Amino acid sequence: MIIDLRSDTVTKPSKGMLEAMLNAQVGDDVYKEDPTVNALEERIAKMFGKPKALFFPTGSMANQAAIKLHTNPGEQVICDKYAHVYNYEGGGASFNSGVSCRLIDGDRGMFTANQVVESINPPDFYHSPLTSLVAVENTTNKGGGACWDFEEIKKIRTICDDHDLGYHLDGARLWNALVAKGETAAQYGDLFDTISVCLSKGLGCPIGSVLVGNEDIMQGAIRIRKIFGGGMRQVGYLAAAGLYALDHHVERLAIDHSKAQEIGAVLSNLSMIKVVEPIETNIIIFEVQPDVNETAFVQQLADANIHIIGMGGGKLRIVTHLDYTDAMHDKLLGILQSM
């Protein structure tokens, strides 16, 4: 039994999902003739109360397309120093859109409306880059699956309105936040201009992300996706996995969250662990004591067929997911308790 807790992206399609994929009606999606992709896009657009949605192969491409749609070269995006769009998309913001990122020193990947205000360059001061977009991430990845306070997200909307800034949500794990906080997609659709969501993380699809947004801004999205090389053909087979996941894999995220809590409780009791960061969803970030070799710790688990990941700076990460079974959970807890 191999227990892979490096990420929630390691899941493989279940039998039911594969069946849904096999039975999909497909067409050429570059001509917008794939009925299953169209159905997925309509369904997600409706969930968020947005007029338009577009299927993307990856979350990075969906985020990068959003940045491109919101900005012109030379401009600046405000995001947290932990942001995925800044840290883990290969420098795409500068490569694809010619923009820089103004990093906020936030708390576990989250920041306040006041910090946004402080980060906006005065638009008439032509020496500094023109601020054009605020990007928020919920849940935060590097921040350990933390969920934003919805009131702060609302306040930032007002700031964006006052300063004529675009407002993008990287919602790769928004499903986890919705389940953990009892929020709805429509609440988020109400506030953001664009939102990207991943189907290939907690929802267990092999691939797929969707960008939703307002009519005006999404008008250019299909062209940008084409330019980025993301126009796909009979991709309904993959959209079918997404539709299946929306039916079967959203509410169950609560199971991943409670398992994460249980792992965190065991870790907190181990003398070799210095600190376990607050656990709100399915990500557990923790640090070993200074006298414990973190590589050796990871290797000791790997020798027991348990795989976790180092995040640098002495931090380690465990992520629970759909393919992490009760039996695996019992085994992991037992091994940790014996360490």
Ligand X SMILES: *Cc1c(COP(=O)(O)O)cnc(C)c1O
Which residues of the shown chain bind ligand X in the complex (CB under 6 A)? 58-60, 63, 84, 137, 141, 170, 172, 198, 200-201, 209
Distance CA 144, CA 285 (A): 6
Q: Which is nearer to ligand X, 84 or 259 (CB)?
A: 84
**Cα 48 from chain centroid?**
16
Q: Which is nearer to ligand X, 63 or 132 (CB)?
A: 63
Distance CA 200, CA 255 (A): 17
From the CB of 99, what's the least distance to ligand X, in Å?
17
Residues whose CB is less than 8 angstroms from the CB of residue 20 and which lie 6 or more positions away in sequence, other chains included: 240, 241, 243, 244
From the CB of 108, what's the least distance to ligand X, in Å?
13
From the CB of 256, what's the least distance to ligand X, in Å?
14
From the CB of 289, what's the least distance to ligand X, in Å?
28
Q: Which is nearer to ligand X, 116 or 195 (CB)?
A: 195
From the CB of 225, what's the least distance to ligand X, in Å?
14
Q: Which is nearer to ligand X, 109 or 236 (CB)?
A: 109
Distance CA 330, CA 208 (A): 31
From the CB of 24, what's the least distance to ligand X, in Å?
21
Q: Work out the angle at residue 59's Cα, subtended by the Cα atoms of residues 74 and 156, and round it to the nearest 5 degrees.
A: 60
| Own/partner long-range contacts of 12-17 (Cβ < 8 Å, ≥24 apart) | 12/206, 12/323, 13/204, 13/205, 13/206, 13/241, 14/204, 14/322, 16/244, 16/248, 17/204, 17/205, 17/241, 17/244, 17/245, 17/248
Q: Which is nearer to ligand X, 28 or 152 (CB)?
A: 152
Tell me the two tokens of residue 303: 């020798």
